[in-house]
């Protein structure tokens, strides 16, 4: 039984990308659409925060029916819309979404270099469309978070990505750096999940750049000790201060190294799926 609050409502199992790190479990039942009834049921079970996700939610033909259902049944609930952004400007999708008062657009952004973007998402020509969508969201003053999933291919570019974002998406307020969870496509996959220690200096450089440019930055799924002075920007640090019991502790493990760590009070340790790839003895 889950001991934490789950906000996620996956609304389909098809996608127009095939990200090498994808954690969307519906990958396994790709040929069976999720029945609308079951989506409605999930929505009614949620509190006042709902993450509409997928695979790619913009590929669900009933998307606006689903949003209408949310607004009808949960008027004041906060909606986070998770998308790779590629289809946001097609068929007036963004304009239509605006009507449902989306609280946060979370855009999956692998890298600003086209070759690296394509290597990660496997489908060509997605970067330009994603970036046009980001610019349009900013132009309309909507609440946006760019989500960078830190993996073996893009981690060396982290600070360059921040430089690029600062230059090209001027009014962007918030970035999230999510270390790849070793689930589904990334399950036991050391070609996709890097070692924490190899990414550390790039995380710190990127977070330093965010500070310089006044961009709010959150970090998730990496132990706090790898973030040096930036540990307060860890999502779990904030959650632990606010709502301790909601932390995803089931997925985490306290390792030998944590015993002498000053941050153990706030940190929620190593992910178990990471330790399956890089067992405790070789975590450093």
Ligand X SMILES: C[S@@+](CC[C@H](N)C(=O)[O-])C[C@H]1O[C@@H](n2cnc3c(N)ncnc32)[C@H](O)[C@@H]1O
Q: Which of 13, 53, 60, 268 binds ligand X (CB under 6 A)?
A: 53
Residue 223, both tokens? 């132990």
CB-count burial class (<10 Å; 0-12, 13-18, 19+) for 219: buried
Q: Which residues bind ligand SF4 (CB under 6 A)?
A: 15, 17-19, 22, 24, 54-56, 84, 108
Given ligand X, ligand SF4, none, residue 218, with its beta carbon under 5 to 8 Å by kind, binds none
Share in percent of the chain as helix, strand, coil (round to 5): 45, 15, 40
Q: What is the dihedral of CA 172, 179, 15, 37, to 10 degrees?
A: -90
- The residue (of 85 and 194) whose beta carbon lies closer to ligand SF4 is 85
Tell whether residue 34 is a contact of ligand X (CB under 6 A): no
Given ligand SF4, ligand X, none, residue 148, with its beta carbon under 5 to 8 Å by kind, binds none
d(CA 175, CA 208): 13
d(CA 225, CA 16): 36
Q: Which of 60, 178, 199, 233 binds ligand X (CB under 6 A)?
A: 178
Tell whether residue 13 is a contact of ligand X (CB under 6 A): no
**To the nearest whole angstrom, how small is the minimum distance from the Cβ of residue 260 to ligand X?**
28
Restricted to residues 60-99, the positions that interact with ligand X (CB under 6 A) are 82-84
**To the nearest whole angstrom, how small is the minimum distance from the Cβ of residue 178 to ligand SF4?**
11
Restricted to residues 115-174, the positions that interact with ligand X (CB under 6 A) are 147, 149
Three-class DSSP category at 81: strand
Q: How many residues bind ligand X (CB under 6 A)?
A: 21
Strand (E) or helix (H) holding 144: strand 144-150
Contact 27, 58 (CB under 8 A): no
* Residues forming the site for ligand X (CB under 6 A): 15, 21-24, 53-56, 82-84, 106, 108, 147, 149, 178, 180-181, 183, 186
């Amino acid at each position: 039984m889950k001991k934490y609050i789950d906000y996620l409502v996956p609304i389909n199992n098809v996608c127009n990308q095939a990200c090498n790190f994808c954690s969307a479990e519906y990958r396994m039942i790709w040929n069976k659409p999720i029945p609308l009834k079951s989506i409605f049921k999930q929505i009614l079970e949620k509190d006042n925060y709902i993450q509409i996700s997928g695979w790619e939610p913009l590929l669900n033909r009933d998307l606006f029916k689903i949003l209408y259902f949310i607004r009808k049944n949960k008027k004041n609930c906060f909606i986070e819309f998770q998308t790779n952004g590629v289809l946001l400007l097609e068929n007036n999708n963004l304009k239509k979404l605006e009507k449902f008062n989306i609280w946060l657009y979370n855009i999956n952004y692998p890298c600003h270099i086209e070759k690296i973007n394509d290597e990660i998402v496997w489908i060509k020509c997605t970067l330009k469309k994603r970036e046009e969508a980001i610019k349009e969201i900013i132009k309309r003053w909507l609440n946006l978070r760019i989500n960078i999933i830190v993996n073996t291919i893009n981690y060396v570019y982290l600070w360059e990505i921040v430089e690029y974002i600062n230059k090209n998406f001027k009014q962007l307020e918030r970035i999230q750096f999510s270390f790849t969870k070793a689930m589904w496509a990334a399950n036991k996959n050391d070609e996709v999940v890097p070692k924490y220690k190899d990414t550390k200096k790039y995380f710190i450089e990127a977070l330093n750049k965010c500070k310089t440019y006044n961009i709010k930055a959150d970090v998730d799924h990496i132990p706090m000790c790898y973030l040096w002075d930036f540990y307060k920007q860890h999502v779990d640090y904030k959650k632990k201060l606010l709502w301790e019991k909601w932390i995803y502790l089931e997925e985490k493990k306290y390792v030998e190294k944590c015993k002498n760590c000053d941050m153990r009070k706030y940190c929620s340790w190593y992910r178990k799926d990471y330790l399956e790839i890089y067992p405790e003895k070789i975590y450093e």
